[in-house]
Structure 1
Amino acid sequence: MSETFLIGALLAVTGGFLDAYSYLLRGHVFANAQTGNIVLLGVNLAGGKFTQVLYYFIPIVAFAAGILVSELIRRTFREHTNIHWRQITVGAEFIILLIVAFIPRGTFDVIANVSISFICSLQVQSFRKVNGNAYATTMCTGNLRSATEKLFQYHITKDKQERNKSLQYYGIILFFILGAGIGAWCSHFFAEKSVLICCALLLSAFLVMFIQPLSPENPENSSI
């Protein structure tokens, strides 16, 4: 169930929301994908603005730490029979975002950004496939590449499976955009508390993963 389009859509909305939230409310930092932060780190390093270098360096380190923690969770709980290890990562995201919602804006933005970067790395590392195809829920570049590639392959081969895969990738991108739009709107009206909406989305994903699919594609790999 953790690899279904429904879960992918919920997490993509969350990813888009958090990108808008961190950029608009938490000091113009990209908490999801670290490419922007790495570029800004380099720009400020070249300009000798070392305080700003540290400001962008910390979320990058937090993102890397999240990857390590995600792998630790997977190795520790992959054989657990009552709960899927991916549900544990979603539960961790929920708890951390709940705390972020009550971190005041301004002085403590760096703490909020570190927390968001950490949970986004948990998510991107834990949820890497939808219906067997590699994808990401916290960034769109790879999804856009895959969607367009599959669309081209459909044009050449007329294979409907390639078309469906392309539409699936474009669908995830649309849900990401939807999340960013909702995030921008909610950030304007509810400020730092708007991230509670992401908590609701994560809780929904957590509960949905208890449902057993009627025809799992790879039942023998359900614990992977």
Structure 2
Amino acid sequence: MTTETEKPSYDPEARGLRLVAVLLGLTVVSGLIDAVSYLGLGHVFTANMTGNVVVLGFAAAGAPGFSVPHTLTSLCCFLLGAVAGGRVAVHLGSGSRRTWTRITLAAEAVLVGASAAVAFAAPGATATTYTLISLTAFAMGLRNATVRKLGIPDLTTTVLTMTLTGLASDSRLAGGSGHRSPRRTASVVAMAVGALLGAWLVIHHGLGIPLLIAAAVTGVLAVVASGRE
């Protein structure tokens, strides 16, 4: 029983937007990033590494429109970002999830913002292509390592294969409960919305604006994220 002198417990982790909503926002950003990289940087992914491995196979076979150097740059920078994310998790993961998440997302926002600045400053240059691939892939690797360590079910923010599998195999049609269907559906919709918006912006306005939007959204999420699922 609570007495008049007792104060309600204060949980700093609960301050801000819950991580489920934050990760759905980041899933939209992933759609934006992959629209920029695939449509504007030579058919390479910088967020979706499953697709990138397949693209590397296409490029190695000599399929037109694909580049081995571009794809290898993306893969290597993504892995470096994931290493960095793992090291951040070692140092910050045992403390406040809110602080850890905010620092990582702030770093992602800075990296994507830098890529937007480069895209505006030197559009179309070969060096710009490699710079954008490197910065965005590193940022996505950093984020993916963090999201993996956070362990929020069904919200990887960059790939949907297992999300779609779970949506179908755990559905009532398949004899399951379907209890996570809303979250899984929201993840699929978020990715599609990001890809649609990103593709439209790339086609009509170039690479700088979608990257700037991605950086701004990530920056806002970094400021408002809580440590609670």
Q: TM-score range by the shorter chain?
A: 0.7 to 0.9
The structure whose Rg is larger is 2
User: What's 1:221 paired with?
Assistant: none
User: What's 2:82 paired with?
Assistant: 67
Question: Which digits, 9 at most, give the CA deviation of each residue in 1:101-147, with x for residues without a partner?
Answer: 12233312121012111111222221248994243101211211122
User: What's 1:27 paired with?
Assistant: 42
State whether structure 2 residue 206 is matched by structure 1 residue 188.
Answer: no
Taking the aligned partners of 2:57 and 2:72, their CA distance within structure 1 comes to 10
Q: CA deviation at 1:76?
A: 1.4
Q: Which runs of 5+ in 2 are unaligned?
A: 1-13
Q: CA deviation at 1:41?
A: 2.3
Paired residues in the alignment total 207
State whether structure 2 residue 186 is matched by structure 1 residue 168.
Answer: no
Answer whether contact 1:15 1:139 (CA < 8 A) is retained: no
Answer whether contact 2:108 2:139 (CA < 8 A) is retained: yes
Q: CA deviation at 1:166?
A: 1.6
State whether structure 2 residue 217 is matched by structure 1 residue 198.
Answer: no
C-alpha spacing 1:110/1:151, structure 2 compared with 1 (3 Å): same
Q: CA deviation at 1:202?
A: 0.6
Taking the aligned partners of 1:26 and 1:110, their CA distance within structure 2 comes to 8
Give matches, 1:73-222, under 5 Å.
73-80=88-95, 84-103=99-118, 104-106=122-124, 107=126, 108-128=128-148, 132-152=152-172, 156-157=175-176, 162-194=177-209, 195-209=211-225, 211=226
Q: CA deviation at 1:66?
A: 1.2
Alignment-mate amino acid for residue 197 of structure 1: I
* Identity in percent: 24
C-alpha spacing 1:82/1:8, structure 2 compared with 1 (3 Å): closer
Taking the aligned partners of 1:189 and 1:42, their CA distance within structure 2 comes to 30
Question: Which digits, 9 at most, give the CA deviation of each residue in 1:145-194, with x for residues without a partner?
Answer: 12222215x7525xxxx423022111111011011111112223332221
Q: CA deviation at 1:55?
A: 2.4
Q: CA deviation at 1:207?
A: 1.7
Answer whether contact 2:45 2:71 (CA < 8 A) is retained: no
Taking the aligned partners of 1:57 and 1:186, their CA distance within structure 2 comes to 26
**TM-score after normalising by structure 2:** 0.79
Taking the aligned partners of 2:36 and 2:63, their CA distance within structure 1 comes to 28
Taking the aligned partners of 1:68 and 1:57, their CA distance within structure 2 comes to 16
Give the superposed CA RMSD: 2.8
Answer whether contact 1:74 1:86 (CA < 8 A) is retained: no
Answer whether contact 1:16 1:177 (CA < 8 A) is retained: yes
Answer whether contact 2:104 2:143 (CA < 8 A) is retained: yes
Taking the aligned partners of 2:52 and 2:153, their CA distance within structure 1 comes to 27
C-alpha spacing 1:14/1:111, structure 2 compared with 1 (3 Å): same
Q: Secondary structure at the match of 1:36?
A: helix
**TM-score after normalising by structure 1:** 0.80
Q: Which runs of 5+ in 1 are unaligned?
A: 218-224
User: What's 1:220 paired with?
Assistant: none
Could you tell which deviates more after superposition, 195-204 or 102-111?
Answer: 102-111
